Amino acid sequence: MLRASVAARARAGAGAGVGARLRLRLRLRAGAASEAGSRQPLAEGEYRDSVLLPRSRFAAQLPGRLQPDTELETQQKSGFSALYAWQRQRKAKQEFCLHDGPPYANGDPHVGHALNKILKDITNRFYMMRGYKVHYVPGWDCHGLPIELKALSEVKGAENLSPMEIRQKARKFAERAMEKQKSAFIRWGIMADWENCYHTFDPKYEANQLRVFHKMYDKGFIYQDYKPVFWSPSAKTALAEAELEYNEQHVSRSAYIKFPLLKTPPKLTSVIDGLSPASVLVWTTQPWTVPANQAVCYMPDSAYSIVKCTTTGEYFILAADRVESTAAVLDTQFEVISTCKGTDLADGSCAHPTIPGRVSPLLPANHVTMAKGTGLVHTAPAHGMEDYSVASHHQLPTECLVDESGYFTEAAGPELQKKNVLEEGNEAVIKMLQAAGSLLKEEKYVHSYPYDWRTKKPMIIRASKQWFVNTASVKAAAQEVLKKVKIVPTSAMNRMLEMLDRRTFWCISRQRCWGVPIPVFYQKNTGESLINSETITDVIKIVEQQGTDAWWTLPIEQLLSKEAVAKAGGSHDVLDYVKGQDVLDIWFDSGTSWAHVLEGTEQRADTYLEGKDQLGGWFQSSLLTSVATRKKAPFKTLVVHGFTLGEKGEKMSKSIGNVVDPDVVVNGGEDHTKDPPYGADVLRWWVAESNVFTEVLIGPVVLNAARDDINKLRNTLRFMLGNMADFNPETDSIPPSEMYIVDQYMLHLLQDYGSKVTEAYKEYDYSKVVRLLQAFCSRNLSNFYFSIIKDRLYCEEEKDPKRRSCQTVLAEALDIVVRSFAPILPHLAEEVFQHIPYKKDSEGVFRTGWINASSGWKKPGIEEAIEGACAMRDSFLGSIPGKNALEYEVVIVIEPGLLFELMEALQAEESSSVSQLNEIMMASQTTLLSELPKEIPTDANIIKGTFLINLEGGDIREESSYKVIALPTAKAKCPRCRRYTSDSSSTPCPRCLKVLAGKGST
């Protein structure tokens, strides 16, 4: 990269041998042309037509109102829709497979879709341009409760619909949503197999999904059990942990409750006997679960205290570490009578606070925490995962008193029956505790609480009979497999490993009808389940032909064969069975996509690329199903991006008014003044320039900045295009060995740029690609190279080798720059190619490969020559702040050594207005000396500096001092090239006279 200023390099020095200097001079001088000009002319009068100004119909800036139509025209002209099929049909040695995680088909496209799909498209286009045959089949997740609920919300009397009527309406809703999303994705320029998309409601997909279920069932990974699960009362179904979101401001009613001691723990008899009344003290944020209490748990390794309440005289047992804080909450004082180990509470029991005659034993448990509460935990096996584990170990009953809608059942008693456990049911339990004298305190408690991610309503934990994947038996293998996967960013690896480690089971059954049915049958009288290899295989055959609707439409005898019943050892008739009513979790739907989409391959994608929520979602369900059935991951690389937020870092919300609609971004809103159209490429640039591995901000300020960035890029591109009007690389190119040294230097930089950009793409670091692009175009091209070659381009004779030299570089730069951003800005890239004069019949940028920068362009040592000259130019320009450099001559004095020899390679003569060095200095004339002239004007400003030369990998290091003197020129301004190189302001300079003579002018 061209350094902004190298004059301030760290001082260090070492001599260099004469042989090294000679090699360097020969390398730099080989074939270099001898003369150049410097500045952009604005020729006057009769000479204006003799100047070769840029010509191109490519717009330097494209007004927003024209952007959408221009992109659509470009898509049509360049064959965007045919590109995927073209690259699939070509011969390619390697294949790159990016497996599309299916978006949910329940609404309009949003900026989260844009972020995800554009990231995938950038990746696919990069690999396609590098010669890979890209496999990318887009898909949609089509089943599930959210789609079902939205479909039903459009229907009056939805509660009276049959399962098949619900399924039909849900399918139609999903199909409409998919069509909207698909149209948007295509408009954004997403290259994909749009003719063969996958949908999780396709019969073949469903059959493949059930085949995975079959394998997992046969291997013992899938089982049915009665245990507590996350339950959504609002949706009346079980949910997986990945389907939860947490409300940090949820308000619960916490309660301090006493459980009267019935049986004193044997080891505490001597302390507690005679202390009356004595109770254990518990704290809960879910009072409604108290009727289901079966035990009180303690931490065996913690210390517990027997205390006396000075206010009431009662005695309580609680954790020693919680005595002080609990007394403060209860607004009382506790006198510690004795302290014991947790293990000393063994074999004790207490009375249930609201149910006479029920005994709650004191039991040890490692899930008890001392961080809050009393260190004693009320245990309701039907409403807690850890509670259930304790109950299973001690053979306690797990009776659930709550129905699927979240209401107490008849078994809870007349005082609670038909009351909502989170509302009036909770209140009723609190009143029962008060009436029993068991409630010491009740208060509001704000904490993080799980909500149904779709209905946005609170969850409960409720025991029910469900189907599970035993993740405990597969997660160790899954973790080992995952460690061999490349994850970008690397920090996501630990997060996913931790999520896997915490997951003991996965509830895969849902109590809805819009989904893939679990292929199980139940005996009518006993409820005994019938499921085996034969029954599953039979159902798969039917599903593959007719889809899962058959489960609801066909009679039992067509789904369950007599042979399957007989093989199961049953003596019942087929008609004695009924079909199961549960469907599979949608995470199981999408998590088995590898079995369908990657069919015919090794069923292992190169890349899965999704948001960070998929670490516990699709990434995990895909990994678990694949490892359980095949002992390998379905992906080689995981790329994890963040979420989209408003440009101030806040969550997008309609109430705040910061929701960004990608359709409005691309096409504009109803009021173009308020919501101007930006086009798809601005949306794509926003994605690429963002650090997508964190949260990604979007809003008007961000989008305007993206539009401005692209317009700056267009300016750079137009300069190159405009100066290609009379150039054809096939006939007019100059070999690098015959180029100006600065032109060779630009090829050197181009080779380095191409290499760095390619590496950034490989690492999915598209924001680095954008930074490299902007830096190269701004610093190396616009600010440096373009500014010094304008005179050569505009004022030299059309076919002059000096002019053709920089045109050759511009042609290479244009090609490399356009290819480097093509995956990000495909519309702009193809638009540029349509305006390149010598590429009129080109197949376009995407059909002609990736960056092709010759390794021969890399020339060690060439940087030292140009950057040394630039260091002195910085000193020169710094000595005349605000002045026109063309009006000054510059004298450069360098002590003999490597730096002087490098400058001699740029200017052989002592003084010149047409040398390569003078072109870089941007002066009227440059004089190169090895010592100060004897006579220096008294008002001359002498700038001193040093430059460190570092060659041959550091083997040659030499620090050289230099002086720069700026002097006003005595020359007049040339009326043609506008440089101060003429003897008279009415007569062109010698160079221009020579060019005009060649044109037949005077």
CATH of the domain at 399: 3.90.740.10
Range 901-912 average pLDDT: 95
Range 144-163 average pLDDT: 88
| CATH number of domain containing 830 | 1.10.730.20
Note the pTM of the prediction, 2 decimals: 0.88
Is the model's pLDDT at 167 over the cut of 90?
A: yes
Residue with tokens 């995990």: 620
Tokens at residue 170, please? Answer: 């849900």
Q: Are residues 258 and 197 in the same domain?
A: no
Q: Are residues 306 and 423 in the same domain?
A: yes
Q: Provide the 8-state DSSP code for 51.
A: S
Give the H or E element holding residue 317. Answer: strand 315-319
Is the model's pLDDT at 936 over the cut of 90?
A: no
Q: Are residues 302 and 440 in the same domain?
A: yes
pLDDT for position 961 = 92
Largest CA distance in the chain: 126
Which alpha helices (DSSP H) does 725-825 contain, by range?
729-732, 741-762, 766-775, 787-795, 801-821
Q: Are residues 308 and 410 in the same domain?
A: yes
Q: Are residues 116 and 162 in the same domain?
A: yes
pLDDT for position 29 = 37
Cβ 129 vs Cβ 115: under 8 Å: no
Q: Are residues 501 and 564 in the same domain?
A: yes
Q: Are residues 142 and 211 in the same domain?
A: yes
Which residues does residue 144 pair with via DSSP β-bridges, in sequence order?
A: none
For the stretch 244-275, pLDDT in tens is: 899 999 999 999 999 999 999 999 998 887 77
991 lies in some domain: yes
Give the H or E element holding residue 196. Answer: none
Amino acid (one-letter) located at 50: S
Q: Are residues 727 and 853 in the same domain?
A: yes
Q: Are residues 841 and 715 in the same domain?
A: yes
Cβ 112 vs Cβ 643: under 8 Å: yes
**Angstrom distances, CA of residue 70 to CA of 265, 333, 719, 821, 868:** 83, 78, 20, 18, 44
478 lies in some domain: yes
Is the model's pLDDT at 302 over the cut of 80?
A: yes
763 lies in some domain: yes
Q: Is 949 helix (H, G, I), strand (E, B) or coil?
A: strand
Decide which of 450, 474, 501 is a domain's last residue.
450
**Angstrom distances, CA of residue 922 to CA of 12, 185, 482, 791, 874:** 29, 49, 58, 10, 11
Distance in angstroms (rounded) separating the CA atoms of residues 376 and 174: 49
Nearest CA to 764 among 639, 619, 611, 635?
639
Q: Are residues 745 and 830 in the same domain?
A: yes
pLDDT band at 43 (very low <50, low <70, confident <90, very high): low
**Which distant-in-sequence residues (6+ apart) come within 8 Å of 275 by Cβ?**
306, 308, 315, 337
For the stretch 428-484, pLDDT in tens is: 999 999 999 999 999 999 999 999 988 899 999 999 999 999 999 999 999 999 999
CA 490 from chain center: how many Å?
Answer: 13
934 lies in some domain: yes
Domain count, the chain: 5
Decide which of 815, 836, 857 is a domain's last residue.
857
Is the model's pLDDT at 28 over the cut of 80?
A: no
pLDDT band at 30 (very low <50, low <70, confident <90, very high): very low
Distance in angstroms (rounded) separating the CA atoms of residues 647 and 473: 44
pLDDT for position 600 = 65
Is the model's pLDDT at 3 over the cut of 60?
A: no
For the stretch 547-591, pLDDT in tens is: 999 999 999 999 999 888 888 776 678 999 999 999 999 999 999
Which residues does residue 101 pair with via DSSP β-bridges, in sequence order?
A: none
Is the model's pLDDT at 671 over the cut of 80?
A: yes
Phi and psi based region of residue 764 (left: phi greater than 0; alpha: psi -120 to 50; beta: remaining): left
Tokens at residue 821, please? Answer: 């951003």
pLDDT for position 653 = 83
**Angstrom distances, CA of residue 496 to CA of 471, 480, 485, 616, 630:** 14, 12, 12, 7, 20
pLDDT for position 839 = 82
pLDDT for position 601 = 63
395 lies in some domain: yes
Q: Provide the 8-state DSSP code for 784.
A: I
Q: Are residues 786 and 911 in the same domain?
A: no
87 lies in some domain: no
Q: Are residues 844 and 868 in the same domain?
A: no
Domain that holds residue 261: 251-450
With b for 16 or more beta-carbon neighbours within 10 A and e for fewer, the 718-734 pattern comes to bbbbbbbeebeeeebbb
Highest averaged pLDDT of the listed ranges 275-289, 740-754, 932-946: 740-754
Distance in angstroms (rounded) separating the CA atoms of residues 515 and 140: 14
**Which distant-in-sequence residues (6+ apart) come within 8 Å of 207 by Cβ?**
540, 543, 544
310 lies in some domain: yes
pLDDT for position 41 = 46
Three-state secondary structure readout of 282-314: EEECCHHHHHHCCEEEECCCCEEEEEEECCCCC
**Angstrom distances, CA of residue 571 to CA of 527, 539, 561, 575, 968:** 15, 21, 13, 12, 112
Decide which of 572, 587, 602 is a domain's last residue.
587
pLDDT band at 23 (very low <50, low <70, confident <90, very high): very low
Beta strand 521-523 with 509-510 is unpaired
Range 898-911 average pLDDT: 94
65 lies in some domain: no
Tokens at residue 326, please? Answer: 């609990």
pLDDT band at 45 (very low <50, low <70, confident <90, very high): low
Residue with tokens 């793409």: 761
